Amino acid sequence: MIFGLEFKTLLAAALGGILPTILWLKFWWHDDKHNHGHGILILTFVAGMVSVMIALPLEQLVAGLLYNTTHVVIAAASIEEILKFLIVALISFSAFCIKGPTDYARFLITGALGFAALENTLFLIEPITHQGAALSILTGNLRFVGATVLHTVASASIGVVIGLAFYKSHFSKIIHMLVGLLTAITLHTIFNFFIMKGTTESIVTILALLWVSAILLLVIFEKLKQINKHKKYLTNLKQDHYV
């Protein structure tokens, strides 16, 4: 028994919560040209998991202070998005890690997937314990296509917006960061409101919105790759000209 739960229950919940996020990680890092080491990726992923343990008590505290449901939902979304960003930024936003415009998004997504992994694990414990395997699988799939995509898209939106300012001034990066954070918080808040409705129509609508957002972010992500290649080409051209 661990924390009053059977080991097999914790193991099943952990596998259901973490394995899907590993697949997402492989997708986002499969073409890493800068060969970031596994150590920094694992550290960023674990940091994302740790941020869950910080976010939960903060959200409970805010819920006790605010009586307006709308304010509580906005505050919860803000806490999660700001925490995910700050923890990843402290660990990964350095010259050692950020070597191209897409790296901001990659590391923020890594932290977001760590957050989603632990959050999904916690959500799966109750259905596994009390309601059987079938419902657990269904819950896991819903969280995979819902909350996991949400955290990925929200954090990615911050990363791609900052990435657009990669070759600009430090002040410009800060402005882009604030715009990205506001976008992430807004998307997270909308998701929470639609999920709270609990209707099939609302769930389908928000999932469709998330996947459309994911596709748009992928397009921008690819654009960032092209910008980086073009910039490197111009730099090499200038160097060749002066040689």
Contact predicate 136/12, CB 8 Å: yes
Band (236; pLDDT cuts 50, 70, 90): very low
Rounded CA-CA distance 148/123 in Å is 12
Quick: pLDDT tens for 55-79: 999 999 998 898 899 999 999 999 9
Band (128; pLDDT cuts 50, 70, 90): low
Most trustworthy range by pLDDT among 22-26, 121-125, 198-202: 22-26
pTM tops 0.85: no
Lowest mean pLDDT among 27-36, 145-154, 172-181: 27-36
What's phi and psi for 2, nearest 5 deg?
A: -130, 120
Rounded CA-CA distance 101/97 in Å is 11
Position 136 scores a pLDDT of: 46
Residue 149 neighbours by CB under 8 Å, 6+ apart: 207, 210, 211, 214
Q: List residues bridging with 5 in a β-sheet.
A: 2
